[in-house]
A and B are shown apart, each in its own frame.
Chain A
Amino acid sequence: MTDASKSAKGDLKLSSLVKTYGEFVAVDDLSLLIPEGSFFALLGHSGCGKTTTLRMIAGLDEPTSGSIHIGNTDITYQKPYDRPVNTVFQNYALFPHLTIFENIAFGLRRRGIKDVKEQVDKVLNLVELPHLAQRKPTQLSGGQQQRIALARAIVNRPALLLLDEPLGALDLKLRRQMQIELKWIQTEVGLTFVHVTHDQEEAMTMADTIAVMNEGKIEQMGSPADLYDSPRTAFVANFLGQSNLIKGRVVDSDGDANVVEIHGQKVKVLKNRSVAKDSSILFGIRPEKIRIQPGAHQLSGCVLEGGVISDVSYIGVSTQYQVEMPWGQELMVFEQNDDGIPPLAKGDPVKLSWETIFSFGLDGSEDASAGSEVNPDED
Chain B
Amino acid sequence: MALATNRKKKLWPYILLAPGMVWLVIFFIAPIVKLVSTSTQTQGVNIGEYVQSYRFANFIDAFTGAAPQFFRSFLYAGLATAFALMISYPLAYAIAFKSGKWKNTLLVLVVAPFFTSFLLRTIAWEQILGEQGLVLKTLRFLHILGPTGHLTATPFAVVAGLTYNFLPFMTLPLYASLERIDPRTLEASGDLYASGFTTFRKVTFPLSLPGVVAGTLLTFIPAAGDYVNAELLGNPQTKMIGNVIAARYLQIVDYPGAAALSFILMATILILVLVYIRKMGTDEVV
User: A interface vs B, CB < 8 Å?
Assistant: 1, 58-60, 79-81, 85-87, 89-91, 93-97, 106-107, 110-111, 152-153, 156
Query: In whole angstroms, what is the CA distance A81 to B189 when docked?
Result: 8
Task: Identify which of B182, B191, B192, B202 contacts A91 (C-beta below 8 A).
Answer: B182
Query: In whole angstroms, what is the CA distance A110 to B195 when docked?
Result: 9
In the complex, the answer to whether B190 meets A81 with C-beta atoms within 8 Å is yes
Dominant SS at the A interface? Answer: loop
New A-B contacts (13) at CB < 8 Å, excluding given A60-B190, A106-B189: A1-B193, A80-B187, A80-B191, A89-B188, A91-B184, A93-B182, A93-B185, A94-B188, A95-B203, A97-B203, A97-B207, A106-B192, A106-B202
Measured CB to CB, the nearest residue on chain A to B181 is A96
Interface-central residue, B188, B192, B195, B209, by most chain A CB under 10 Å: B192
Residues in B with CB closer than 8 Å to A95 are: 185, 188-189, 203, 207
**Smallest Cβ distance from B34 to chain A, in angstroms?**
44
Query: In whole angstroms, what is the CA distance A59 to B206 when docked?
Result: 25
Dominant SS at the B interface? Answer: helix
User: B interface vs A, CB < 8 Å?
Assistant: 182, 184-185, 187-195, 198, 202-203, 206-207, 209
In the complex, the answer to whether A87 meets B191 with C-beta atoms within 8 Å is yes
**Smallest Cβ distance from B59 to chain A, in angstroms?**
42
Query: In whole angstroms, what is the CA distance A95 to B184 when docked?
Result: 10
In the complex, the answer to whether B207 meets A86 with C-beta atoms within 8 Å is no
In the complex, the answer to whether B192 meets A156 with C-beta atoms within 8 Å is yes
Measured CB to CB, the nearest residue on chain A to B193 is A110
In the complex, the answer to whether B185 meets A94 with C-beta atoms within 8 Å is yes
In the complex, the answer to whether A110 meets B182 with C-beta atoms within 8 Å is no
Q: List 17 A-B contacts (CB under 8 A).
A: A1-B193, A59-B190, A80-B190, A81-B193, A81-B194, A86-B191, A87-B191, A91-B182, A91-B184, A93-B182, A93-B184, A95-B185, A95-B188, A95-B189, A95-B203, A97-B206, A97-B207
Query: In whole angstroms, what is the CA distance A263 to B209 when docked?
Result: 72
Task: Identify which of A1, A60, A96 contacts B185 (C-beta below 8 A).
Answer: A96
In the complex, the answer to whether A89 meets B207 with C-beta atoms within 8 Å is no
In the complex, the answer to whether B203 meets A110 with C-beta atoms within 8 Å is no
Query: In whole angstroms, what is the CA distance A137 to B203 when docked?
Result: 14
Task: Identify which of B187, B194, B206 contacts A89 (C-beta below 8 A).
Answer: B187
Residues in A with CB closer than 8 Å to B209 are: 97
Question: Do A107 and B185 contact each other (CB < 8 Å), given the known contacts A95-B203, A97-B207?
Answer: no
**Smallest Cβ distance from A88 to chain B, in angstroms?**
9
Question: Do A81 and B191 contact each other (CB < 8 Å), given the known contacts A91-B184, A94-B185?
Answer: yes
Question: Do A152 and B207 contact each other (CB < 8 Å), given the known contacts A91-B184, A93-B187?
Answer: no
Query: In whole angstroms, what is the CA distance A79 to B194 when docked?
Result: 10
Task: Identify which of B185, B198, B207 contacts A110 (C-beta below 8 A).
Answer: B198
10 tightest CB-CB pairs across the interface, nearest first?
Answer: A107-B192, A93-B184, A110-B193, A93-B188, A80-B190, A97-B206, A81-B193, A93-B185, A87-B191, A110-B194
**Smallest Cβ distance from A104 to chain B, in angstroms?**
10
Residues in A with CB closer than 8 Å to B185 are: 93-96
In the complex, the answer to whether B191 meets A96 with C-beta atoms within 8 Å is no
Query: In whole angstroms, what is the CA distance A106 to B191 when docked?
Result: 10
Measured CB to CB, the nearest residue on chain A to B184 is A93
Residues in B with CB closer than 8 Å to A152 are: 192
Residues in B with CB closer than 8 Å to A106 are: 189, 192, 194, 202
Query: In whole angstroms, what is the CA distance A353 to B31 when docked?
Result: 93
**Smallest Cβ distance from A79 to chain B, in angstroms?**
7
Residues in A with CB closer than 8 Å to B206 are: 97
Residues in B with CB closer than 8 Å to A60 are: 187, 190-191
**Smallest Cβ distance from A100 to chain B, in angstroms?**
14
Residues in B with CB closer than 8 Å to A91 are: 182, 184
Interface-central residue, B189, B190, B194, by most chain A CB under 10 Å: B190
Measured CB to CB, the nearest residue on chain A to B187 is A60
Measured CB to CB, the nearest residue on chain B to A83 is B191
Residues in B with CB closer than 8 Å to A80 are: 187, 190-191
In the complex, the answer to whether A110 meets B191 with C-beta atoms within 8 Å is no
Residues in A with CB closer than 8 Å to B182 are: 91, 93
Residues in B with CB closer than 8 Å to A96 are: 185, 207
Query: In whole angstroms, what is the CA distance A90 to B187 when docked?
Result: 12
In the complex, the answer to whether A81 meets B195 with C-beta atoms within 8 Å is yes
Measured CB to CB, the nearest residue on chain B to A102 is B202
Residues in A with CB closer than 8 Å to B188 are: 87, 89, 93-95
Residues in A with CB closer than 8 Å to B195 are: 79, 81
In the complex, the answer to whether A85 meets B193 with C-beta atoms within 8 Å is no
**Smallest Cβ distance from A316 to chain B, in angstroms?**
41
